[in-house]
Amino acid sequence: MTTSSISALDPDRTAILVMDLQNGILDSFPESATLLMSVGRAISDMRSIGATIVYVRVAFTPQDHLAIPAANKTFSAVAEAGVMLDGDPTTSIHSTLSPQEGDIIVRKRRFGAFSTTDLDEQLRVLGVDTLVITGISTGGVVLNTVLDAADRDYRVLILSDGVADPDPEVHKVLIEKVLPHRAHLIDSSELSALLSQPV
C-alpha cells in the first residue's frame, strides 16, 4: 500500500486511537521504547493539524471484576487475579504519551475500543469517519478494534510501526495476512506524508 492510493486525511474527520499503551502492559513488552517513539511522533503530527486524539485504556472497578462471567476465558482470569484496577499505576497511560486538554480518554473493560465504551458516539458527534490505529497488542485490542471499526464503516489506517504484539509470529500473520483486508497499513513516515497533502 502506498500513500498515493490513500486519499488525504481531513483533520476534522480523522482521529488517532492510542490504545492500551499504559504502564502495566508496556512493562512486559521489551521493545516499548521504539514503539513509544513512533506513536509519539504520530500523535504530534496529528495534533499539529488539529485531528482528534483518543486514548483508550483498560481498567476495572471492583464491580467490573464481579460482573465478569467465568465463561469469559481471558477476563475471568483478570477478575480472579484482581488486577488492572482503575486508579492503579498499571492502568495509567505512559508518561511519554500524556493526554492534553481536549483529548478524548475512554476506559474499556474488554479487548476492543468500542464494545464497552461510548467512543463510537463521541466520534460520530465530532464527524470523525477515519481512524489511525496504534497500540498493544496486535492480536488483542488492535485486531478487535479494527474489525469492529470496519463493520461500523470507518475508514481505518493501521500505523505499522505503532502496533506490536508479544508474539512476533502472531503480529506478522495479522499484519501481513489478516488486517490488510480491513484496513490500510502505513508507517509513521507515510502518515506524515499523508498529513501534508491538501485535502
In the prediction, which pLDDT does 4 show?
Answer: 57
Give the confidence band of 29 by pLDDT, cuts at 50, 70, 90. confident
Position of cell 470507518? 154
Residue 1: inside a domain, yes or no?
Answer: no
Q: What's the distance, Cα to Cα, between the start and end of the chain in Å?
A: 19
| 26 Cβ contact partners less than 8 Å away, ≥ 6 residues apart | 32, 36, 94, 136
pLDDT tens profile 155-199: 999 999 999 999 999 999 999 999 999 999 999 999 998 988 887
Q: Does a structural domain hold residue 2?
A: no
Asked if residue 33 is part of any domain, the answer here is yes
Q: Which three cell numbers stand for residue 2?
A: 502506498
Grid look-up 492534553 returns 100
Q: How far is Cα 81 from Cα 180, in angstroms, rounded to an integer? A: 35
Whether 38 maps to a domain, the answer reads yes
- Non-local (6+) Cβ contacts of 39 within 8 A are 18, 21, 97, 134, 159, 162
Is residue 3 in some structural domain?
no
Q: What pLDDT band is residue 117 in, cutting at 50, 70 and 90?
A: very high
C-alpha distances in angstroms, 179 versus 182, 190, 195?
A: 5, 18, 22
Residue 1 pLDDT more than 50?
A: no
Confidence of residue 2 (pLDDT cuts 50, 70, 90): low
Q: Which of 135, 59, 53 is nearest to 99 (CA)?
A: 53
Q: What is the pTM of this model?
A: 0.95
Tens of pLDDT, residues 78-102: 999 999 999 999 999 999 999 999 9
Residue 145 domain-assigned? yes
78: domain range?
8-196
What is the predicted pLDDT for the residue at 74?
A: 94
What total number of domains does the chain contain? 1
66 falls within a domain: yes
> Three-state SS string across the chain, please?
CCHHHCCCCCHHHEEEEEECCEHHHHCCCCCHHHHHHHHHHHHHHHHHCCCEEEEEEECECHHHHHHCCCCCCCHHHHHHHCCCECCCHHHCECHHHCCCCCCEEEEECCCCCCCCCCHHHHHHHHCCCEEEEEEECHHHHHHHHHHHHHHCCCEEEEEEEEEECCCHHHHHHHHHHHHHHCCEEECHHHHHHHHHCCC
Question: Domain with 52 in it: what CATH number?
Answer: 3.40.50.850
Q: Determine what percent of the chain is predicted with pLDDT higher than 90.
A: 90
Q: Is residue 173 part of a domain?
A: yes
Average pLDDT score over residue span 25-47: 93
What mean pLDDT do residues 42-63 have?
97
